[in-house]
Structure 1
């Protein structure tokens, strides 16, 4: 048939070693995730918030870095960590911090390769105006319960996990800046990624990931994608929280946020709910940032996403060395087009074709006229695997006849053609195809799917359910 202007969308998911993250309804937990990481109890996270609120209440209503409220917050977190078996260090900020600011708190679980460190941090201080429950009790509490959960589960770690609660963030990221500056270049090189959690329970919030298309962000985005949340880049928070201190020294960073004083767009309200035109956190830096200013659903989703990232980066890495986290983002194309680039108009759910599974796919070419369409995405092929195979389901419908290849479909990695099919390969329905990506293990490459037609007689190439299997 001649292709209509409407186009359908690609469903691309990546299975790396232990399995895919399937698209599921919000708040349900994918089987692939539950097999890897624990479900962090949000009730316990809120219990830590209750303690931080009480501390603020006993200390003038706030937990600013120079006050007793902050020092008592440090003592609470430190006590829980020490009781769980962590090596905990208070690091005084001796330069660059506000006079009288309390210490950073650093906790490390004594397992895993100390030359490969994954850091998870949140600022523990607040502003003078209020108790700072969302900013940043939410990130601090979620991080604490994740640390306690890791200790309770006590899995065998391949990589080292380090947690940090920063001082004096509200005065200019001073605590985290001091920490990174104080490290030797060799110790900075050991930190493979830093993950930051600042305001993860905004009552009118969105779902934002720092550097969402980066390799560091892959597990964070993969978890929220698995809940159907369709997260976006954290543009509001760029350069405004402690991850920036690490970025300044070339350390890869990511993290979660739900937004501060910026206003929710109509498109975001349609996607996530809430009120368009209103601030993500209407109590940002105000006295009303209390326990009533907490989005429990968002806090739960972020807490579980932190756990998933810890398990992917430090725990699952030992099972053959294949990091299975989200090599292809938005793999099913069920959540818009990002981070795909190119002819993203080919992504959608349209009449005239059907998906292999789900409702969306990518329909490349099929016009019956000279045309080339291509979609691509940057993907990190996992290292430490004996084999990496890209599988995809392809349906070829054509009005051509015979065995002459007039219209072509190609799969490329960084411009190198790995597979070519044509109208001569047309059949009835979807056929699973595969290409070998083993040579790209440990590398970040751009995978591209391209459909090209000549001037007459249409051939449509419909791609769905792509998976990268490693072993």
Structure 2
């Protein structure tokens, strides 16, 4: 993980593994409301074998795998060789702008099956810092990702969507490799990437279980897997903007990912929940020479590797071969409005962090109306409802705040799918907080449709319609 700023007064701590929970096989996962098929179990011993190779590479090259050194180039060669042997087409992408002088290439591998117009992407940075071999940061994410790619090749299931893997260069110097990659894509190519999942430091010895954008649609399968293990994961606040998912967020691509923490200190509540030492850093060897093979939490590494596989199978594997029959995760992009305005269109100035109108979750929402004069504001997004969804619904949270009185509808809020009105609300429906609402989308299974939310006000007295956490769900 890239260091955002220097941490003063870093204290050494005894290296402790997180408290362990009973292992759960990845053959099936039971969530709160259903049992769903999942990926094969990813062998953590094979993940650790990759870490052994990365450690040996660092040992032969001055003790590190920094992006500008031979240790990084040899790491690229190792990962590339394993992928090519498994049948992948692998591309080395030189970083020709924005990277540190002499930095090695990004490594991109795509499994040649599934809809190329719907790409689910998984990535981890392969470089480390100069101070040490970088086994947790980020050999752990790189190794877990590699074994998932090899497992996919070995299983060779029928694919619904395309899967692309990436190992990034120069992350430790400013997310430079992933930034270059996303910048180099055309807008059409970016639009094909329906979600990006990032894995950075997934074996911290005093770590916790953190998920990027945990309430988002993209995060849903990742959270479902860790929830099935009773882990009670939390939002990855420490890692926000500090790893390669941020490069994708900047272009409105939905993102999520796993992490176990860096230099921030574990709270007492987290220690009670996960084990470990309260008051000590999640990774006591963060960016230090002691980030060696002894600095690996095998239990956490195993849970992350299996969660990656579960997410991959849910997002990309064909129905009937181990994937979910109705995968709605990520159908609505940026449904919580936390990642800018894209891919929403229309009155996108309504999207932001609004004083006086708090979001349902996170910091941002879409505030439509509230002008107190004749006006119309709307936002839209085009989505594809999965063909396997015999039952699908649009879910959203709406807060209506009005100065109007009485039972007459002066100001209105409409929800449409294409030209069909799904719902109409007004100032009459105002209340003190957010209400979760839904509308049936089952008729649109297998179709692409534009969802539009519109607020229309008359000439006086304000009514605000504050929208948040929009998603498409099965059932």
Q: TM-score, normalised by structure 1?
A: 0.66
- Deviation string, structure 1 residues 264-296 (Cα, Å, up to 9, x no partner): 000100110100000000000000000000000
The offset of 1:322, in angstroms, is: 1.5
Distance 1:228 1:381, change over 3 A: farther
Highest CA radius of gyration, 1 or 2?
1
- Tell me the equivalent position of 2:95: 93
- Tell me the equivalent position of 2:61: 59
- Tell me the equivalent position of 1:388: 391
- Tell me the equivalent position of 1:323: 327
Distance 1:320 1:220, change over 3 A: closer
Quote the Cα distance in structure 1 between the aligned partners of 2:424 and 2:228: 30
- Tell me the equivalent position of 1:43: 45
Q: TM-score, normalised by structure 2?
A: 0.66
Quote the Cα distance in structure 2 between the aligned partners of 1:415 and 1:28: 45
Quote the Cα distance in structure 2 between the aligned partners of 1:117 and 1:172: 25
Quote the Cα distance in structure 2 between the aligned partners of 1:125 and 1:469: 39
- Tell me the equivalent position of 1:84: 86
Quote the Cα distance in structure 2 between the aligned partners of 1:194 and 1:389: 23
- Say whether 1:29 aligns with 2:25: yes
Distance 1:186 1:231, change over 3 A: same
Secondary structure of 2:288's match?
A: coil
Quote the Cα distance in structure 1 between the aligned partners of 2:154 and 2:110: 14
- Deviation string, structure 1 residues 360-384 (Cα, Å, up to 9, x no partner): xxxxxxxxxxxxxxxxxxxx99732
- Say whether 1:158 aligns with 2:160: yes
Quote the Cα distance in structure 2 between the aligned partners of 1:202 and 1:137: 11
Maintained 8 Å contact 1:30/1:226? no
Maintained 8 Å contact 1:169/1:242? yes
In the TM superposition, what are the counterparts of 1:230-241 in structure 2 within 5 Å?
230-241=232-243
- Tell me the equivalent position of 2:366: none
The offset of 1:121, in angstroms, is: 0.2
In the TM superposition, what are the counterparts of 1:188-267 in structure 2 within 5 Å?
188-267=190-269
The offset of 1:112, in angstroms, is: 0.7
Distance 1:230 1:93, change over 3 A: same
- Tell me the equivalent position of 2:139: 137
Quote the Cα distance in structure 2 between the aligned partners of 1:114 and 1:381: 15
The offset of 1:178, in angstroms, is: 0.4
Secondary structure of 2:78's match?
A: helix
- Deviation string, structure 1 residues 63-109 (Cα, Å, up to 9, x no partner): 00000000000000000000000000000000000000000000001
In the TM superposition, what are the counterparts of 1:286-297 in structure 2 within 5 Å?
286-297=288-299
Quote the Cα distance in structure 1 between the aligned partners of 2:229 and 2:116: 33
Secondary structure of 2:284's match?
A: coil
Quote the Cα distance in structure 1 between the aligned partners of 2:285 and 2:330: 34
Secondary structure of 1:122's match?
A: strand
The offset of 1:30, in angstroms, is: 6.0
- Tell me the equivalent position of 1:110: 112
- Tell me the equivalent position of 2:187: 185
Distance 1:86 1:250, change over 3 A: same
The offset of 1:27, in angstroms, is: 1.9
